[in-house]
Structure 1
Amino acid sequence: MSTATAIPKKPARKTVFTPARLITAGVVLVVLILMFFNTKILTGKEATEAAPGTFSPASYAQEKFSSEIVPDITGRAADLVTVHKAIAADPAAAAKQYGVVSGSSPAVFSVKFTGTAGEPGANGQLPVQVKNMPPDVKVLVQMGPAINGTSIRDATGKVQFSQFKNQIDYQNVGAELNKQVKDQVLAKVDAASLPGKQVSVVGAFTLINPAAYIVTPVKVDVAP
């Protein structure tokens, strides 16, 4: 009868922390701490805007609004009464002469006018009585807080859908340009104090209802 021979177990190897190892571990720890404090934690929006090759509608609007959009609308703005008469006579000819048409969308007109401000409506639209405008045609200026439509985006003809990756980016650019109107134009105007005062407006409107021109402003001056 054979007898099994027991295999002796090897003693567990002990980790010896030599001064060199301790110094190395300390250096690694310091590097990790420095990396943590020098790392900026981004929000979802910041990460999207910072990612290489990622389009940011907000950055686009901030860059283009004052440098290109406002000067273009101001430069092409025609007298509102003149534009109205042209629209009343021949909308298609008026669009060709004074407006910008993108595809099958309604024409967008850049205009300027001076008139007497009325009481702002609950929707934030400020009625303005403009001399020589027919009494049955309303002139309304969007004063916020909500700015609707894409008149500012479409007024110059230089912001085209083909420039963007998809419809969402194109729509978001319109919304961000409207935000620039609020931040850079309307933030400087106290709408509640305007009734009865003379205001001069430069802006754009999309021809949807010929009985009401809803103007999104890029400039509002109030007479003292």
Structure 2
Amino acid sequence: MVTLQGFVGPWYRNLFRFLLLFSYIIPISLRVNLDMGKAAYGWMVMRDESIPGTVVRTSTIPEELGRLVYLLTDKTGTLTRNEMVFKRLHLGTVSYGTDTMDEIQGHVRASCPQVALVQWTESVGLTLVSRDLASVQLRTPSGQVLTYSLLQTFPFTSESKRMGVIVRDESTAEITFYMKGADVAMSSIVQYNDWLEEEVTRGVG
């Protein structure tokens, strides 16, 4: 408008007047347009057939997706809906699966792997009686209660990808080291088996 009127007279006053008026109009309309665009984009994401089941819970999803560089997820909880399916058990050189133990097939347990193991062992006769920071008591299928003292615990770390515990059998004074972990970490520790490499490759793939 100032250009059309020409830079004559108090043109700077008119310029300041237009800037003052449009400073309230442009940002509001721009914000409304941006919010409408975000809502439309979120609706398109939820309707995308290539990612079924997606739920957009915030209108800032376009900005969040635009800033993503690395996507890090865990294997349990977030991706498994807090459910664990017990399919196979490896004990040394022996593998128990659905073809050898019908109890394992479709055994759905809680999200925590330790809870799934405890509940499965209880279903086959070995029951956890008590557990504290110093000892563990187990009941065998024959009713005998075994007491183990916890001598040392090695917590799980992302570097080692495994955890372990050293226990002492109070009835025999025998000391044993138990370890569990990711297949890629345990494959170099346990005794070689003909099915071990296949299981590791399947887990990675």
Q: State whether TM-score is above 0.5.
A: no
Structure of higher RCO (CA pairs closer than 8 Å, 6+ residues apart)? 1
Greater fraction of residues in helix: 1
